[in-house]
Amino acid sequence: MKIYADAQSGNCYKVKLMCALLNIEHEWIHVDILAGGTNAQDFLAMNPNGKIPLLALDDGRHLWESNAIINYLASGSDLLPSDVFAVAKVQQWQFFEQYSHEPYIAVARFIAKYLGLPESKKAEYEAKQAGGHKALAVMESQLAQTRFLTGQGVTAADVSLYGYTHVAHEGGFDLSLYPNVQAWLSRIEALPNYIAMDASKGKA
**Same domain membership, residue 69 and residue 92:** no
Among residues 27, 55, 77, the one where a domain terminates is 77
**Same domain membership, residue 114 and residue 72:** no
* CATH number, position 92: 1.20.1050.10
Is the confidence at residue 169, as pLDDT, over 60?
A: yes
Is the confidence at residue 18, as pLDDT, over 60?
A: yes
pTM of the entire predicted model: 0.92
Residue 22 main-chain phi, psi, to 5 deg: -105, 5
Is the confidence at residue 202, as pLDDT, over 60?
A: no
Is the confidence at residue 102, as pLDDT, over 80?
A: yes
Task: For residue 196, tell me if it sits in a domain.
Answer: no
Q: What is the mean pLDDT of the chain?
A: 95
Quickly state the pLDDT bin for 198 (edges 50, 70, 90): confident
What pLDDT, on the 0 to 100 scale, is given for residue 36? Answer: 87
What pLDDT, on the 0 to 100 scale, is given for residue 76? Answer: 96
| Nearest-angstrom CA–CA distance, 204 and 200 | 8
* CATH number, position 57: 3.40.30.10
What pLDDT, on the 0 to 100 scale, is given for residue 162? Answer: 98
Give the residue from 119, 120, 128 showing the smallest Cα distance to 170. Answer: 128
Residue type, 31: V
Task: For residue 104, tell me if it sits in a domain.
Answer: yes
Among residues 62, 77, 92, the one where a domain terminates is 77
**Same domain membership, residue 117 and residue 62:** no
Task: For residue 70, tell me if it sits in a domain.
Answer: yes
Domain that holds residue 42: 2-77
Give the residue from 105, 153, 113, 148 showing the smallest Cα distance to 130. Answer: 105
Among residues 77, 99, 118, the one where a domain terminates is 77
